[in-house]
Amino acid sequence: MNRTPLLVALLAVALPVFAQDALTTVAERSGFVRTGRYDEVIALCDAFAAKYPNAVRCETFGTTPEGRPMKALIASTSGALTPEAARAKNLPVTLMQGGIHAGEIDGKDAGFLALREMLDGKLAKGVLDRQVFVFVPVFNIDGHERFKAWNRPNQRGPEEMGWRATAQNLNLNRDYMKADAPEMRAMLALIERWDPVAYVDLHVTDGAKFQHDVAVQVEPVNSGDEKLRVAGRALRHGTIDRLTRQGALPLPFYPSFVKGDDPSSGFEDGVSTPRFSLGYMQLRNRMAMLVETHSWRPYAYRVNTTHNAIIAVLEQVAANGVAWQRLEREADDRATKLAGTSVPLDYKATEAARTIDFKGYAYTRTPSTVSGALMTRYDESKPQIWRIPLHDVVVPRISANAPRAGYVVPAAWIDMVKPTLDAHRIRYTRLDAPLDNIAAQSWRASTIKFSSDSFEGHQRLDAQGTWTPETRSLVAGALFVPIAQPKARLVMGLLEPTAPDAIAAWGRTNTAFERKEYMEDYVAEEEAEKMLAADPALRAEFDKRLKDDPDFAKSPEQRLEFFYRRHSAWDERYGLYPVLRVDTAPR
């Protein structure tokens, strides 16, 4: 059964005891009406380490832009409290984080409660003997301290909470690939050091009102290494089964309607792009889980559900983590052999749908006298089963063939590319000698579209083009990024220009797609006349274009550019992506 009523009742009786216990939280002592400030996290981190010196270590793994320490609790009753010790004992690592969106703070309070119960032997006995639990109570710390009521207007409790974005107004759960935020760079370093078998991101949903209380998604399930998906499915199913037995109503997909706020449109499953935690870890051949409690459940209920999910994951890693580690290492080895194969870069749900029974509430959709829009209104006193479509057949949307050797970044572009490679600990070598007439593939854009507004501080690029064989020469100082490395999928996600969260897509190379020189119209007219007189084939091509393309025929600009693009004055680097692919490693 679900523990929430029992938990709340026990808290009401035990408040005087909890008030004296240094390891309880403000949430517990308030009956889950409030959540504590970040100074509580710092104090609890130290207090846990002091009470359990052989099982807990308190670590600072970074500093926020406002100068706050980023805290992680390292917990294991095996005595392995460093990455080196964990590797020496072949212990799997589970890394969980709360508060990446600091208003969604269930994970912080649930994690402290679960950790104390395990260390006291009251719950999940022996689970910490067989793994290392790395717990980050709050990821977005500066956002957590932007603390007030109504920071989450569509959420029930706590009374006050943190803010979604960081002090630099960055959404950390859009930053995994571009790694702009100091907090994200610190987290990526923590992931690199501990190499978790599972990375769990604890959230709270936005969205409609319905009865289901938690969504549990895992990748790789629809993405990433095919054989590793077996472990991803096992982790997802095992967590959902445990939560169901405890009285929860879990979902294996994120419950966001296909069309706005219209429940009849149903849902679609998919794979998050790697700007999100859930989409990122599969590029490293590791499992990621997204736990989303439902925002309209009371805070005590949500914390309890998150607590149960935390225990469910840790129990499974204790039982299966060594085997899952082996599967992940085998996936690493397969990733080193992706050269020349087709690799998916993005995914989508197909039009195929099945009808599901979804536990919702009675609702109406009527015009609003306030906004004038068609609004959905839910009646939580009337549970109702919705028979609605679910699109859950997921296929690749974009794929690319992995280069046979790797990518070459010219020296002039290193400053735009290298910091991101370094943030992800991508392996590369610097080429000290010039590269003369190397056989390579270049990518030129056939269409270029810049976003009309800023997103996460970037003007994103949507460009389409093709890789074509060319001979190129480069000055000394280029970088060679081999494809034969365990993070090959991550390399492609960063360096393939059509990948959804590539360096190019985030606008790091936008200047390569901007025109810098022009031919005056009167010059173009004169040069076009000369070209037509000298080249009958060109005249025939121009006449055919005039006949077949009415828009072209009516546009003086397009007609003159037809000739400019074929003139030696044209900038051959316009639209040329400043990264090459090579089939042979340069020396």
Task: Please write the tens of the pLDDT for every residue from 489-511.
Answer: 999 999 999 999 999 999 999 99
326 within a domain of the structure (yes/no): yes
If you average pLDDT over residues 74-83, what whole number do you get? 98
376 forms beta bridges with 365
Q: What is the pLDDT of residue 261?
A: 87
- To the nearest whole percent, how much of the chain has pLDDT over 90? 95
Query: Phi and psi for 249 in degrees, rounded to 5?
Result: -125, 70
253 within a domain of the structure (yes/no): no
Task: Kindly tell me if the per-residue pLDDT of 161 is higher than 60.
Answer: yes
If you average pLDDT over residues 145-161, what whole number do you get? 97
Q: Which domain holds residue 324?
A: 4-198+298-336
Tokens for 340, please give them.
């020349």
Nearest to 524 by CA among 574, 573, 562, 575: 562
381 and 486 in a single domain? The answer is no
360 within a domain of the structure (yes/no): yes
Q: What is the pLDDT of residue 21?
A: 77
221 within a domain of the structure (yes/no): no
The band of 16, judged by pLDDT with boundaries at 50, 70 and 90, is very low
373 and 446 in a single domain? The answer is no
Residue pointed to by tokens 């320490």: 69
List, for residues 336-375, the tens digit of each pLDDT value: 999 999 999 999 999 999 999 999 999 999 999 999 999 9
Distances 324 to 20, 285, 424 between C-alpha atoms, Å = 41, 11, 22
421 and 381 in a single domain? The answer is no
279 within a domain of the structure (yes/no): no
Q: Dmax of the chain from CA atoms? A: 97
Angle at the Cα of 573 (from 571 to 576), degrees rounded to 5? 140
Between strands 429-431 and 406-409, the pairing is unpaired
372 and 325 in a single domain? The answer is no
The band of 8, judged by pLDDT with boundaries at 50, 70 and 90, is very low
Task: Kindly tell me if the per-residue pLDDT of 557 is higher than 60.
Answer: yes
Burial bucket for residue 18 (CB in 10 Å: 0-12, 13-18, 19+):
middle
Task: Kindly tell me if the per-residue pLDDT of 6 is higher than 60.
Answer: no
On whether the CB atoms of residues 277 and 290 are closer than 8 A, the answer is yes
List, for residues 398-439, the tens digit of each pLDDT value: 999 999 999 999 999 999 999 999 999 999 999 999 999 999
Distances 485 to 235, 339, 477 between C-alpha atoms, Å = 26, 10, 21
498 and 536 in a single domain? The answer is no
421 and 528 in a single domain? The answer is no
CATH number at residue 54: 3.40.630
The band of 468, judged by pLDDT with boundaries at 50, 70 and 90, is very high
302 and 412 in a single domain? The answer is no
Nearest to 571 by CA among 524, 521, 512: 512
33 and 74 in a single domain? The answer is yes
447 and 504 in a single domain? The answer is yes
Q: What is the pLDDT of residue 136?
A: 99
Print the SS3 string covering 74-101. Answer: EECCCCCCCHHHHHHCCCCEEEEEECCC
Q: What is the pLDDT of residue 7?
A: 52
What's the gap between Cα 552 and its chain centre? 42
CB count within 10 Å of CB 547 equals 10
81 forms beta bridges with none
List, for residues 439-466, the tens digit of each pLDDT value: 999 999 999 999 999 999 999 999 999 9
284 within a domain of the structure (yes/no): no
- Write the Ramachandran bin of 247: left for phi over 0, alpha for psi from -120 to 50, otherwise beta: left
Which amino acid is residue 355, in one-letter code? T
Listed residues 348, 364, 389: the one ending a domain: 389
345 within a domain of the structure (yes/no): no
DSSP letters along 441-506, please? EEEEEEEEEE-SS-BTTB--EEEEEEEEEEEEEE-TTEEEEES-STTHHHHHHHHSTTSTT-TTTT
378 within a domain of the structure (yes/no): yes
Query: Phi and psi for 532 in degrees, rounded to 5?
Result: -65, -40
Tell me the CA end-to-end span of the chain in Å, nearest whole number: 64
The band of 212, judged by pLDDT with boundaries at 50, 70 and 90, is very high
- To the nearest whole percent, how much of the chain has pLDDT over 70? 97
Q: Based on the structure, what is the number of domains in the chain? A: 4
If you average pLDDT over residues 193-212, what whole number do you get? 96
The band of 207, judged by pLDDT with boundaries at 50, 70 and 90, is confident
Print the SS3 string covering 394-459. Answer: EEEEEEEECCCCEEEECHHHHHHHHHHHHHCCCCCEEECCCEEEEEEEEEEEEEEEECCCCECCEC
Q: How far apart are CA 265 and CA 267, in angstroms?
A: 7
Q: How far apart are CA 144 and CA 141, in angstroms?
A: 5
List, for residues 263-309, the tens digit of each pLDDT value: 999 999 999 999 999 999 999 999 999 999 999 999 999 999 999 99
- Write the Ramachandran bin of 179: left for phi over 0, alpha for psi from -120 to 50, otherwise beta: left
307 and 385 in a single domain? The answer is no
Tokens for 360, please give them.
């919702």
Task: Kindly tell me if the per-residue pLDDT of 170 is higher than 80.
Answer: yes
25 and 136 in a single domain? The answer is yes
pTM, 2 dp: 0.94
Task: Kindly tell me if the per-residue pLDDT of 260 is higher than 50.
Answer: yes
169 and 59 in a single domain? The answer is yes
